[in-house]
Structure 1
Amino acid sequence: MTRMQELCRAAGTEGAVLLKNANQALPIQKGEVVSVFGRIQLNYYKSGTGSGGLVNVDYVVDIPDGLRAAEGIAINEELYQTYQEWEISHPFDKGKGWAQEPFCQEEMEVSDELAQQAAEKSDLALVIIGRLAGEDRDSEAVKGSYYLSDGEEAMLRTVRAHFNRVVVLLNVGNLQDMSWDHLCDAVMYVWQGGQEGGNSVADVLTGKVSPSGKLSDTIALSLDDVPAMKNFGDPDKNAYEEDIYVGYRWFETFAPEKVKYPFGFGLSYTTFAWKLVSFQETVDDFSVTVAVENTGSVPGKEVIQVYAGIPQGKLGQPSKVLCGFAKTNVLQPGQEQEMTVTVPKNVLASYDDSGVTGHRSCRVLEAGEYLIYAGTSVRDTQIVSQFVVDELKIVETLTECMTPKIPLQRLHPKMVDGKLMPEMEVVPQRTYDLMERIASRRPADIPFQGDLGIKLKDVKDGKHTMDEFLSQLTDEDLACIVRGEGMCSPKVTLGTAGAFGGLTPHLKELGIPAGCCADGPSGIRMDCGTRATSVPSGTLLACTFNEELNEALFEEMGAEVNKNRIDTLLGPGINIHRSPLNGRNFEYFSEDPFLTGKMAAAQLRGMHKHGVTGTIKHFCANNQEYRRTFISSDMSERALRDIYLRGFEMAVKEGDARSIMTSYNAINGIWAAGNYDLCTTILRGEWGFTGIVMTDWWAKMNDEDEEATVKNTKAMVRAQNDLFMVTVDALKNTQDDNTAESLANGTLTRGELQRSAANICRFLMNSPCIEERKKTNVDGGEEDDRPAEEKLDFVIHEDTVLDVRGIEGTRGTSTIYTVLTIKEGTYELTVKASSEAGGVAQIPVTISMRHHTATFSFVGTGGETVEKTSKISLDQGKEYLKIYFGQSGLDLQELHFHKISDKKED
């Protein structure tokens, strides 16, 4: 097992959260037999759906496979075979395209007779519930999504009636309704654990590893108790009326009785005791030192969490806020470990967006007593000390940014009879002129000097300044450099999400390399079929509460990214779990911004050890997938800064983030991809960020009070969102953006374009792509180093036959050729092939060239050669031709390209 596989497996075990374990139902003991129920046992969900989960892998370990490999236990193979036979007539539903996979699969009916037979042959029942959600598709408050399906509930009730020990595993990316947990003895969230998931689950179930995961979210008694649900799912606007009171901040302050399982909660197979060793306070920080002892009978790890009770003051505060945590090593029974958590006091500062403290647009520590709690969940804590702030302290003087212009209300605590009660107050509105701010801060133009012979490498080597280099770029160069290309651009590693930088002949002549980005964060997505490692989902990784493990895992990820000639992985995703239904929660970490920021920073530090980086996303407030490109997230500036931007700020300041992707949505009416205060005033001005900012793919931009469109790159560049992702061809302006037009009419300046060009070039010259590297083939190995002109496999003229005999066409494999098309246009593509299979066999093959694809479905020909024809549009120039086999058994012979029109039919 490789180091990467070991870390994936370890992370999967440490992120599993055991919520209930009555009567010592777990762990499974040696010699016991397990009956596994639930059809998802045959198709383990390694991740959620969409770009963040589509990783091509060599294998996925299902939970029964993991149990079979465990020492000393057995599964009820007869029951397993029953599920296999049932699946033949009830095949797994893969959906019909992007975001179309069902939330759950049809469940096999479990009769009383089947359950009784299984109970007679086994010691316990393991019931697996699986769920999918993901990009462009939220979970829903319906049966089979947030709630159990009728089939799942019937299965669980029947199993409960016949088994003395029932364990439920949740193979999910989102929190689920838990009102059914009285029907089982034990329940564990095992999340979506990547390709090693089944092994990780088996390690925890069998006690090889004692569970140590802690919930990164609060599980409410009812979905209706989550305050964000009042304003979730609107097609146009989401009013964040709960303000800063997200997750446990709401429940612990106003509704502790509405919690089923609190934030930070998670059981172990052993028991722990902890005690305060010391509390140290300085002017700037405080330190909590505790001793944790394993008081049980098996080895295990424990997490100590530190919370602060901030005085209510004039701003109002949650009753507790996470400000530190630490995880022990594996402690043997009776072993003790001391740990120290040090917290800068400034972490406890809050943003005043109204001036109620007398210091509007400042982060402040209000006067009063600050209580410091320690414990093993937000609920299971005790006060370990306190310190006093004698008078209000200004921590940071900032600038009013992104305040709403429309009337909004928000929650605010009010003390009534000694108890905090929620009331509504008016959200402060904007007091500045955004367009005036932008105009007054425009950078000066760098005068055009023409070709000075300076290459980007000369800037890296300190021979010339960036300004001297940029003075060589023409208006056309500047318009082109802010355009990325993709998906699957042939200018970078095959099958990746995009290319940026040196994408035109003149930009390449200046020594600007083409940077490469690939979808993540759960592993590298490469659409050409290249295999990569699928790592556990973001939620699972946050539940480890283990920064060191996250850093080590993503150090290995960085090595894999670098090996595949990729400069940045599009992740981690660090939006807040505002609602349990957000489809993309599996990519994100937590409802808590502090935990989110710590996990993101750790993963970035790991990748940076190999010179590559992650692109943190989606900046910001992407908390709903439904109509994600149309909705506006409307909130107070305090909620924005204290909750929804906090994780990003920590990733920049503690993780040295170098690349950021903006979100599809608007914030208070201004779309993120063209939001000046987001990308310039806050990110670069206040946080000191010096990297690149890219849009999400085909994102919209707008000028204030105007409609958002994908063509308004003027607003994007002006905001210092440096890259529009993506176009088909940067030079041809296939997106038909307004950059050149705006430059000509003066609404966009050369200085603004040069500023983005500098950001892009600075990123590239500090990325691996600046150095000459051998290219990699589709399997990740090195290509030969022949001159570029000799690397062409085929040239396509107006009538060309390509001999492709000898390809190994097995299911799921692909072959890549480098081709040069002389003239663009629409071609008739005829595929000639044969098959030894019988006439009912269905054997598809897909021919892809850039965005243009044709799929041919053959049937068995008994060895006879047959032809099938389709139309395909080709671009002029060099690109990759991919032949992908959806099934085995086809002998491909030739591809015949015949040009029928100069016009492409997209």
Structure 2
Amino acid sequence: MKEKRGSNLYAGLMNIFAVILVAAIMAYGIADSYRITLDGYLGTQSSVTINDGDETDLYDYLSDYETAEELVAAHMDLNERLEEEGAVLLKNENNALPLSSDGNIKVTLFGMHSDLTQFSGSIGATTATAQNVKMADAFNARGFEVNPDMVAFYQGLEDTYTPGRASSSAVSTEAVGATVNEVPQSEYAAAPADTYASYADAAIIVLGRDSGESCDYFPGETGIANPDEFDEGSNILGLSRDEKALVQYVKDQGCFEKIIVLLNTTSTMEIESLKDDPEIDSIMWIGNPGCYGFYGIADLMNAASGVSPSGSLVDTYAVNTANSPAAQNFGVYMWNNAADIDSSSSYALRAAWYLVENEGIYDGYKYYETRYYDSIVNPASGATSSVGSSISGGWDYENEVSYPFGYGLSYTTFSEEIVPEKSEIQIDGTSTITVRVTNTGDVAGKDNVQLYLALPYADGQVEKSAIQLVGYAKTGEAAEGEGYENVVYLQPGESEEVTITVERDYYASYDEAEGDGAYVLDAGTYYFAVGDGAHDALQNVMTAQGYLSEGNTAAVVSADLAEKQIIDETKEGAAISNQFTDSDINSLIPDTTTYLSRSDWAGTFPETVESLTATEEMITQLRNDTYTMAEGEDTSEFAFGTLGHSDGTRACELKGITDYDDPTFAKVIANMPLETIATQIAMEYSEMSSFTEMAAGNAACMDGPVGLLLTLGTSAKGIYAMDESDPNYNFSLNTFVSEPVVASTFSHKLAEEEGKLIGNDSIWTQTSWWFAPAMNLHRLPYNGRNNEYYSEDPVLTGYMASDTIIGAQSRGVVTTIKHFAFNNMETNREGVATFFDEQGARENELRGFQMAFEAGGSKEVMTSFNRVGCTFSSADEGLITGLLRGEWDFKGIVTTDMVKAPEYETWEESILAGTDIMLNTSPVNEDGKAWETCQAKYISGDARMTETVYESVHHVLYAFADSVWLNGMSEDTRVERLYPYWELIIISLIAVGAAGTAVSGGLWIFRSVKNKNGKKGA
């Protein structure tokens, strides 16, 4: 019996040690994948760069800030400035704002968003919670006295009435509704109403809709989780019953001198009732203000600060957001034969869903303004029909739009007129338009000048928007070399001239039927116009055309194009042709849908595309397993390195190289083993570890759109290493306003300054690549991730991203624009098959990206999770090979987003299409796993794959050669491996687990054999 107990003891110990061994090995794999992130969080290092002599001389990129204190101050100041110039004043009856008082301005805050504000998005786009300055605190610091009892009232309700948010639905078989969860009137019986009169200079009501990654809102009943919150026929973006009751409650108090509404949202809300309410004095959109933005809002509202609003809307504020053409197809649509496509219970192929975008080019203001134009100029087009109308009867612009794209008020007024003698128009080239701005009001201010273009259109021609933004400028920003800190206001009576450059490639129309596909400029008159938003500019054009009388003809200049121009090659000589034929659902399933045309608004208005059945050909593409690796082919012409061998070439020899054809790249690649490169392709997230062997250190990456998700000190290295005693140690760098607020500044300078500051952050933290800017379009306000994207307009998006890129890359960080392309909703973003027409795609979503590459020079792009047609975006040859690397001549890095499902995000098809990196953390490039062929032994037998992999490495090296990756490096630099304490602990556990398993297993076997022999002897 004693022997049996001993045997059981050893068996138990063996099992325990085996569990420790397996767990430790798994932990090591995960920790190794996130090594840089883990080191940054724990303040440890896994390698050290050693140089002899003064390291400063080895830094090509030096920070603009000598101390962390200066860097932190810049974060606070720029965040505040962005909010000041980005907030949009929508209503200001009787000059209710700014507020003034002999002493502090006494105000009472209302609404749960005044306490639980949405400062940013979520996940990669979140600000540092501990650094978020709450509204009451910021206002109290800037000349206000905020009613403390009302602040305490809302704080006591935080757990019960946390604002609702868009539903979490990254993978979903049905649309999920959301709640608002505003405080109901029943709770106000306990509100400190007796204090209101003491804080009655203004009541400030804050309303909002929270949003974030992997979340969406939905139009109609589907989008409302709690029907009791809303009146019948409402949308989730409309005011809930409790929000309406709150507004009425504030009005009923009768003691407040002013009632002001702030909109804390990046999803445009339905606020027509607030606009029309005579008791609401002011409405201001503030978006997501970031950590320090409320200081800017306080200054805007306080007359003593001298600050005036200068922001304009980046999206159309519709009366009913569910009535737009795009809203007819925004939801969960599953293939009838989804089970035949993917039989797995977990939807491993992410192939069950589709979305048809049949609005064509008519999204956002391009729909509302074009239909308005046709309702007056061409009513025979059906523009005034009831289809898509928010009220019974015919469609009328005044009943559809509360505030148009580009709209925004100031505390002063401006006149804008184009100066023809200083403008030069080349319709088939580059034009420069000079605009004279005069402050015609009584206070100083800044004016953002928006330039629009009306193209000639006739029935039978390619679709055209009646008006489109082509450029913008802002007063007070013309002086070269001046930083953003120097605020230059235009004084009353003063004038300033601004010049806007317009490029043909960013307004030409795309015609799929012109040859093999080409851009076209039809003959006729082209009207350039400025105005307070798209609607005002269009009315100026219509006045110049003789259709209206109230517009400003001095704000318009025109030029004629005698003959139609066909643009079938780029300025660099690359051929332009159709790349997305298979993304039109009609090419796969004929007559599935009709795309919206302004020639027949009623007959072509989009219908919901439901209940489709994928064909066998489509199923093959949806499964994304179309390539079989060759074996035994000759690949000797591609020179890679050999494991354990080097000729002494150092990665730092690439330092500062900007010529893609420089022979040094081949020299470096010849020292990189294919085995290491395969790992780099298949499992790269937070570092480029394959370069470490060549004394290059790690190329660290980091999210996000509101700043690097890193902290000073724990991430600072080299000459920017910090002592833990520094008061700015652990300052989080993710502090900025959301991208729509940046865009609403309409400021080239501020966008570039944000990029520069994030570039400085990258220098301090040795971050080589930044996963931003994000730049998908706001196809609809229901997309929960709109907080990460700039606007509904591609040109505003393109220039904002370009300016940010220029600023960031000037300081050495590689920008990774995302998500390329068509990530226009979060629900089922993983794999949803997105269908569209090529003209709509090129003139809207893709135009912004084109500008970011051509005007901004971004060195990297991240693809999207969704499919382009039936093909995973990273594997779509039309998108990556044909358009990006072909027409746009992009030579930088293409990376996937973080791999979620390797079964459909296949590496072979992606790399062959032009993708370079599969952003992944799990070792799935092993025998028997999803990407087992991503190993040297398989790649080396396939000539096409070997050549593609070689070029992929070339792309990566080219992008990083002139960046902070090689900051502090020289040919004498040594990189020595360190073992941080967390790694030693895991290694020790592996050793203990292995030794314990071996010893206890041996003893168990010994005891078992002994027991068995003993029994035989007995």
Whether these two folds match at TM > 0.5 is yes
Distance 2:666 2:735 in 1: 42
What residue number does 2:668 align with? 469
Q: Which has the higher contact order (CA 8 A, sep 6+)?
A: 2
Cα contact 1:728–1:735 (8 A) shared by 2: no
What does 1:78-477 align with in structure 2 at a 5 Å threshold? 78-87=149-158, 104-107=180-183, 109=185, 111=188, 114=191, 117-121=194-198, 122-140=200-218, 141-142=223-224, 145-163=236-254, 165-181=258-274, 182-183=276-277, 184-207=280-303, 208=305, 209-235=307-333, 236-255=353-372, 256-257=397-398, 258-278=400-420, 280-283=423-426, 284-313=429-458, 314-329=461-476, 330-355=489-514, 359-381=515-537, 382-383=540-541, 384-397=556-569, 398-404=576-582, 405-406=587-588, 407=590, 409-415=593-599, 423=604, 446-447=638-639, 450=642, 451=645, 453=647, 454-460=649-655, 464-477=663-676
In 2 relative to 1, CA 745–171 (structure 1 residues): closer, same or farther, beyond 3 Å?
same
Quote how far apart the aligned CAs of 1:333 are.
1.8
**Which residue, out of 958, 975, 979, partners 1:762?**
958
Q: Report Cα offsets for 1:769-814 as digits up to 9, x if no partner.
A: 224479xxxxxxxxxx999566644675xxxxxxxxxxxxxxxxxx
Distance 2:990 2:152 in 1: 54
Cα contact 1:826–1:899 (8 A) shared by 2: no
Distance 1:410 1:479 in 2: 45
Q: Which runs of 5+ in 1 are unaligned?
A: 487-497, 702-707, 775-784, 797-818, 828-873, 877-896
| 2:805 counterpart SS class | helix
| 1:821 counterpart SS class | helix
Quote how far apart the aligned CAs of 1:466 are.
2.2
Structure with bigger helix share is 2
Distance 1:336 1:644 in 2: 36
| 2:291 counterpart SS class | helix
Q: Does 1:749 align with 2:915?
A: no
Q: Which has the larger radius of gyration?
A: 2
Counterpart of 2:133, as a letter, is V
**Which residue, out of 516, 530, 535, partners 2:700?**
516
What residue number does 1:888 align with? none
What residue number does 1:614 align with? 815
Counterpart of 2:197, as a letter, is E
What residue number does 1:779 align with? none
| 2:767 counterpart SS class | coil
In 2 relative to 1, CA 626–772 (structure 1 residues): closer, same or farther, beyond 3 Å?
same
Quote how far apart the aligned CAs of 1:697 are.
0.4
Aligned residues: 768
Counterpart of 1:394, as a letter, is I
Cα contact 1:86–1:108 (8 A) shared by 2: no
Quote how far apart the aligned CAs of 1:25 are.
2.4
Cα contact 1:14–1:213 (8 A) shared by 2: yes
Q: Does 1:7 align with 2:78?
A: yes
In 2 relative to 1, CA 686–742 (structure 1 residues): closer, same or farther, beyond 3 Å?
farther
What residue number does 2:1008 align with? none
Q: Does 1:721 align with 2:915?
A: yes
| 2:850 counterpart SS class | helix
In 2 relative to 1, CA 347–437 (structure 1 residues): closer, same or farther, beyond 3 Å?
farther
Counterpart of 1:25, as a letter, is A
Counterpart of 2:953, as a letter, is A
Distance 2:740 2:497 in 1: 28
Counterpart of 1:285, as a letter, is T
Quote how far apart the aligned CAs of 1:310 are.
0.6
What does 1:472-483 align with in structure 2 at a 5 Å threshold? 472-483=671-682
Quote how far apart the aligned CAs of 1:468 are.
3.7
Cα contact 2:684–2:917 (8 A) shared by 1: no
What does 1:848-859 align with in structure 2 at a 5 Å threshold? none
Cα contact 1:62–1:197 (8 A) shared by 2: no
In 2 relative to 1, CA 126–729 (structure 1 residues): closer, same or farther, beyond 3 Å?
same
In 2 relative to 1, CA 438–299 (structure 1 residues): closer, same or farther, beyond 3 Å?
farther
Distance 1:561 1:101 in 2: 39
Q: TM-score if structure 2 supplies the norm length?
A: 0.69
Structure with bigger strand share is 1
Counterpart of 1:753, as a letter, is V
Q: Which runs of 5+ in 2 are unaligned?
A: 1-71, 171-175, 231-235, 334-352, 373-396, 477-488, 542-555, 570-575, 610-616, 715-729, 1003-1018
**Which residue, out of 10, 14, 25, partners 2:96?**
25
In 2 relative to 1, CA 38–899 (structure 1 residues): closer, same or farther, beyond 3 Å?
farther
Cα contact 2:640–2:670 (8 A) shared by 1: yes
Counterpart of 2:261, as a letter, is V
Distance 1:391 1:443 in 2: 52
In 2 relative to 1, CA 96–821 (structure 1 residues): closer, same or farther, beyond 3 Å?
farther
Distance 1:790 1:411 in 2: 60
Distance 1:338 1:457 in 2: 47
Quote how far apart the aligned CAs of 1:460 are.
4.5
In 2 relative to 1, CA 791–737 (structure 1 residues): closer, same or farther, beyond 3 Å?
closer
Distance 2:73 2:240 in 1: 39
| 1:134 counterpart SS class | coil
| 1:83 counterpart SS class | helix
What residue number does 1:38 align with? 111
Q: TM-score if structure 1 supplies the norm length?
A: 0.77
In 2 relative to 1, CA 281–423 (structure 1 residues): closer, same or farther, beyond 3 Å?
farther
Identical pairs, percent: 28
Quote how far apart the aligned CAs of 1:102 are.
7.6
Distance 1:520 1:479 in 2: 27
Q: Report Cα offsets for 1:196-251 as digits up to 9, x if no partner.
A: 02212111122432111100111111012221110111241211111111111100
What residue number does 1:68 align with? 140
Indicate the RMSD between aligned Cα atoms, in angstroms: 3.9
Distance 2:318 2:518 in 1: 34
What does 1:626-645 align with in structure 2 at a 5 Å threshold? 626-645=827-846
In 2 relative to 1, CA 826–288 (structure 1 residues): closer, same or farther, beyond 3 Å?
farther
Distance 2:164 2:358 in 1: 39
Counterpart of 2:705, as a letter, is P
Distance 1:771 1:693 in 2: 23
Counterpart of 1:480, as a letter, is T
Quote how far apart the aligned CAs of 1:5 are.
1.4
| 2:581 counterpart SS class | coil
Deviates more, 1:113-122 or 1:671-680: 113-122
| 2:271 counterpart SS class | coil
Distance 1:461 1:20 in 2: 51
Distance 2:191 2:438 in 1: 45
Cα contact 2:525–2:558 (8 A) shared by 1: yes
| 1:722 counterpart SS class | coil
Distance 1:425 1:691 in 2: 38
Quote how far apart the aligned CAs of 1:654 are.
0.7
**Which residue, out of 651, 668, 672, partners 2:869?**
668
Cα contact 1:275–1:292 (8 A) shared by 2: yes
Distance 1:525 1:25 in 2: 39
Distance 2:237 2:990 in 1: 49
Cα contact 1:547–1:598 (8 A) shared by 2: yes
What does 1:814-893 align with in structure 2 at a 5 Å threshold? 819=985, 821-822=987-988, 824=990
In 2 relative to 1, CA 727–386 (structure 1 residues): closer, same or farther, beyond 3 Å?
same
In 2 relative to 1, CA 523–723 (structure 1 residues): closer, same or farther, beyond 3 Å?
same
Quote how far apart the aligned CAs of 1:543 are.
0.6
